[in-house]
Amino acid sequence: MGPTEEFEQEARRCGYRRIAGVDEAGRGPLAGPVVAAAVILPVRCRLIGVDDSKQLSVSERDRLYAAIMDRAVSVGVGSSTAEEIDRINILEATKLAMRRALAGLTPAPDYVLIDAVSLTGMAMPVRPIIKGDALSLSIAAASIVAKVTRDRVMVQFHEAYPQYNFLSHKGYGTEEHLARLAEYGPSPVHRRTFAPVAVALSVPALEAVRP
C-alpha cells in the first residue's frame, strides 16, 4: 500500500498545521556522513511513488527528490561528519543531524513525525514511529531527500578518494569496499570507531610496505 497521510491527518485534527517528517540515511556505512532530512508537505500532497527510499531505484529516487523539493512547504537537511560520529557515537550523531535538519526548516514545524528515533528537549511535540518511512508520507519523503543528498556527497568523496570506489558502494561495507580498505587503509572520511575500519588502522596498508 505504501506510506499515507494518516499520521499527518491525525496531527492536524489535534490542531497542528506544520507537520515535519524526519528520517536519516547512512547510519550503517563505514565512511562518510550520516545525513538527515526534514520535510513539511502541503495538505493532501499527491506524490505518486513515494516510499521508503530503500525500496526505490536510483532513478525513482532522483525523480521523486525533484518532485519533493518542488512541492514541499519546506525542506531542511542536516548531517554529522565521520569525525563527529567517532566522537559521540552513531546514534547521537544521527540525532544531531536530525536536529540540524529541523533547524533548517522555514517556517519551523509545530509537530514532528520521526522514523524510530526519539528527540528530547524539542520545542514542539515529537512522535517516533517504528518503520515510519514505510507508513508516513512525510517521513518517506524525508528518507528520499536524505538518501539522495548523502549519495551525492559520496560521489564527491569518490572524486577526492577514487581508490575506494565510493561511487559504487557509497561507503557501505561491501566485499569490494573491505578489500580496498585493507589495501589502502582508511581515508579521512572513514569512521574510525567502526570495527572494520579499526581493524584496517591496526594493520599497515599494503601501499606503505611495498618497496
User: What does the alpha-carbon distance between residue 83 and residue 86 come to, in Å, rounded to a whole number?
Assistant: 5
Q: What is the pLDDT of residue 204?
A: 62
Query: What Å distances lie between residue 207 and 162, 163, 189, 197, CA to CA?
Result: 15, 12, 19, 16
Query: Which pTM was predicted?
Result: 0.93
Q: What is the pLDDT of residue 211?
A: 35
**Among the listed residues 91, 112, 131, the one whose alpha carbon sits nearest the alpha carbon of residue 2:** 131
Beta strands in the chain (DSSP E): 19-25, 34-40, 74-80, 111-115, 126-129
pLDDT band at 1 (very low <50, low <70, confident <90, very high): confident
Q: What is the pLDDT of residue 6?
A: 95
Class of domain 6-156: alpha beta
Indicate whether 83 pLDDT > 90. Answer: yes
pLDDT digits (tens, 9 = 90+) for 173-191: 999 999 999 999 999 999 9
Pure H helices in 58-106: 58-71, 82-88, 90-103
Secondary structure of residue 115 in the 3-state scheme: strand
Q: What is the pLDDT of residue 50?
A: 85
- Length reported for the chain: 211
Phi, psi of 188 (to 5 degrees): -65, -15
Give how far the C-alpha of residue 102 lies from the chain's centroid of Cα atoms, to the nearest Å: 13
pLDDT digits (tens, 9 = 90+) for 140-162: 999 999 999 999 999 999 999 99
All CATH 3.30.420.10 domain ranges in the chain, comma separated? 6-156
pLDDT band at 206 (very low <50, low <70, confident <90, very high): very low
Residue 15 class from Cβ within 10 Å (0-12 exposed, 13-18 middle, 19+ buried)? Answer: exposed
pLDDT digits (tens, 9 = 90+) for 87-120: 999 999 999 999 999 999 999 999 999 999 999 9
User: What does the alpha-carbon distance between residue 176 and residue 69 come to, in Å, rounded to a whole number?
Assistant: 33
Classify 180 in phi/psi space as left (phi over 0), alpha (psi -120 to 50) or beta.
alpha
Torsion sign over Cα 193, 194, 198, 201: negative
Q: What is the pLDDT of residue 38?
A: 98
User: What does the alpha-carbon distance between residue 126 and residue 20 come to, in Å, rounded to a whole number?
Assistant: 9
Secondary structure of residue 124 in the 3-state scheme: coil
The strand pairing partners of 24, in sequence order, are: 36
User: What does the alpha-carbon distance between residue 31 and residue 151 come to, in Å, rounded to a whole number?
Assistant: 12
pLDDT band at 52 (very low <50, low <70, confident <90, very high): confident
